[in-house]
Structure 1
Amino acid sequence: MAATAASYTPRPDEPLPHQLLSALAQHRMATTSQLHDLLRPNAARQTVSTPLNKLRQKGLVDYTVLPQSNRTRAWYLTGEGARLTRDFPALRGRPPYPINSATAASLKTPHTLTVVRAHLAFAADARRLGHEHGPWDWTPEVSHPLGEGERLVADAVMHYTVIDGQHRRKLRAFVEVDRTTMSSERLAVKLIDYARLFQYEAQPVGRRRPTSTGPAWLKWYPLFPRLLFVLTGASRPRLGNRISDLQAMVAQHPLVAALAREVQLGAAVLEDIEHLGPSGSVWAPLVGGELCPWTDL
């Protein structure tokens, strides 16, 4: 029987095949192990691999084999899978990103899977601490206007709720994942883009005179999200130098310094947040100071 959008629309009990399709639509790509850790961390691996293979037989997902990985599969939606997920409630408003071939998938794989690694570290920490942060609380590739046709695309926007007894503390963060594939200067320049977003005010169409409507980011966030840089892909000394360059940009650039007075900024090494958890004292405040949990920046 041909698959239809209705047959794959998630029901309140959210069957696992629907969750797998939603997770791939949300994250663009993930390995079998990553999908297991994200959706069924306490179940057997076959719990995830069996429905994935059935979805592939239906032409909704496909995979590329990672090089030098003991044939690890990185899964992604086909064009048909992307079309079916477009109306899923958790994904409304998110543009589909179908991948048309294993070759195209392989070009996106390293960065996309590293962003998923960062998400899994936060998700595992939240489960351990009893906080609220699930598969749909991490949205990759979120675009924001900067004016004059320019846009800032955050690697991810994270929503996270800290639970402390009866107290709930809602936090949001922009997450930038750096695999040391660009120069340290280009990485630090991202801070300028976020400072521009913090100050950018859109002008209503048709107004002849500038009229303040408040910062454009208020359209999406009640408070400007904190900014977290997650670094990997190089030696400890080199990663330390990149963090120092981020701190220097905060100290030296007036727009970024203004951002830092209002917004929490931090950087950490991916392997540290995987080993000790994001709630460990692994984050370097970009304004300087001792390492701390990301919630204490």
Structure 2
Amino acid sequence: MIGRMSESTPAPAPPPPPEGTAPDGRERARPAPALPRPAPVTGRTIGWEIACVLALSLGASAVYAVISFTGALTAPGSLADQSANLVAPRAEAERPWLDLSRQTASLVFAFAPVALVLFLLHRTRESAATIGFDLRRPGPDLLGGAALAAAIGLGGLVVYLVSWRMGLTVTVAPSALEPHWWQYPVLVLQAVKNGVLEEVIVVGYLLLRLDQLGWSPVRAILFSSVLRAAYHLYQGVGMFFGNLVMGVVFCWAYKRWGRVMPLVVAHSLIDIVAFAGSVALIGKVDWLPGG
């Protein structure tokens, strides 16, 4: 007798793959976590941004310049009897490569506030081109910068010489570097650093942000110019007012041209001539202080 065939028992279902793996056993790619949305830009945000940028750069320089000037005023003798070195050695004369290394590192990190400003502009859907810090117009930028440098540089030299003879300005030694082969390249790079750092932050970035805060052009230009004068106060009263005028002229030029690059060119040329000229002339002509 043929018995009835037994019903087949279904095979048990395979266990589900571990979490985070595909059915074939391979690890499944995890989705990237969602990035938080940036907070909306408000007047309060811009105000704190400006304060942080200046505290990390030329605002701090202004505070140190005021302290230095106070020390010079309270020291024995007149301001003209005291001196200020703009580019000083960073190592002993017999260790030139250590000096060069430190000079180079100092130059590189001095551009960090500029990089921060450009990043902050990018975060608000702006860029270096917004303030005209680019190479789109090399010819007009060079010509305008050279003309501005000639006018401001000659006027600044006159202000320095007159105020020094009146005892209102310290003796400025633009370079105290030893005469190594790299002296002039370092001085040129220092001049370019000054031009980029000061004009990008104190003119381009600052006037843009103050305009976004609703400041009037006159108020913004005055604030920028006083800040420029303040971080040069360590050189004395005469150079304070000289840089105040320079700030007003540079801000006016920026408002007129809409570009910061001519100001960078002008400032760099002024400092290149001052640094290189001091090395070549101080001690060799009697009309220039510091000999």
Q: State the TM-score, normalized to the length of structure 1.
A: 0.25
Structure with the largest fraction of helix = 2
Q: State the TM-score, normalized to the length of structure 2.
A: 0.25
Higher relative contact order (CA 8 A, sep 6+): 2
